[in-house]
Amino acid sequence: MNGGPSGFNNAPVTRTIVIASALFTIIFGIQGRSRNLAWSYQDIFKKLQIWKLIVSLFGFSSTPELIFGVYLLYYFRVFERQIGSNKYTVFILFSIIASVLLEVMALMLLKDPSLKILTSGPYGLIFSSFVPFFFDIPVSTRFRTFGLNFSDKTFIYLAGLQLFLSSWKRSMLPGICGILAGSLYRLNIFRIRRMKFPDFIASFFSRLSWPTTGSTTPPPRPSRNIVGNAPSYGGRPVEGHYQAPYSSTGEPPEESIATLVSMGFDRNAARQALIRARNDMNAATNFLLESQGH
């Protein structure tokens, strides 16, 4: 399993976060101040060091954490491709805010001396993403090794486990709070999954991000996804935008098949769905999701 076509096509918000995480970690690591990225609720509420909280939300405390964290962020770009940059921005902000509030509450209630300072990095976003990953990304392949059953999703879980245990309690608490934040988002608390920002806010990330190498024509984005958008068919307006119909003849484009595979669907099933949908990506996605029981 992979996160889809290589690069950050159709994932400018993810690209910005990955770049920010790498830059903050490298800059503070070179200066020997990576440990200063960790934060406690005393820093926020007693010393009013809001800047420290903001920086700690992006920079990791160590290089191993950076490697596993960036790998997971890069893989989870599949969700931005599914729901679009606008709603993915809402998901990011909700995950970060909710997880930080839960962490502060936990620190105040537990009063554990070993938890006075938490590790840094976008743990809230990463572990919040494991919720839709668990529920909405189907297993496409299974295999057996040394008598144990594995799937193509196993490697993502192992990378998450490594990050979860990287700093013991200091990383476990943010991980748990991130999972809780992702669960609240899935439960649609405050109808958060219906929220959207003005388009200029989401497009701001595109202007911030570095250019993406590769094809200049990104694959079309399906509108039926983890937040349950209504399906759209070729030539019909979708959320205020007019979507041109896809070609209805010939073998399905390899780019479209790769996009569906990036969502976790079997390659042959993706091809058959595109043929059935006359190369309409949105309709093909709906066929596949319905076949999976969504």
- pTM (2 d.p.): 0.71
State residue 236's pLDDT score: 40
CATH number of 224-291: 1.10.8.10
Segment among 53-62, 74-83, 86-95 with least mean pLDDT: 53-62
Beta bridge partners of 143: 150
- Phi and psi angles of residue 143, each rounded to the nearest 5 degrees, phi first: -150, 165
Give the best-scoring range by mean pLDDT among 15-24, 199-208, 260-269.
15-24
Partners of residue 242 on adjacent β-strands: 237
The architecture that CATH gives domain 12-194 is Up-down Bundle (1.20)
pLDDT of res. 219: 46
Label residue 40 by pLDDT band (50, 70, 90): low
Q: What is the mean pLDDT of residues 16-35?
A: 79
pLDDT tens digit sequence for 258-273: 888 877 778 888 888 8
* Mean per-residue pLDDT, 131-160: 90
Residue 267's pLDDT is: 84
Mean pLDDT value across residues 122-133: 97
Residue 253 CB-half CA count within 13 A: 13
Quick one: which of 55, 84, 62 has its CA closest to 241? Answer: 84
Mean pLDDT of the region 224-252? 44
- Statement: residue 212 has pLDDT above 90: no
**Model pLDDT, residue 4:** 58
Model confidence at 132: pLDDT above 70: yes
| pLDDT above 90 as % of the chain | 33
Give mean pLDDT, residues 4-27: 87
Structure tokens at 78: 């599949």
CA 166 to chain centre: 20
Q: How far apart are CA 18 and CA 9, in angstroms?
A: 14
pLDDT value at residue 52: 72
Would the CA dihedral through 234, 237, 239, 244 be positive or negative? positive
Boundaries of every domain in the chain = 12-194, 224-291
Nearest 10 degrees: Cα torsion 222, 224, 229, 233: 70
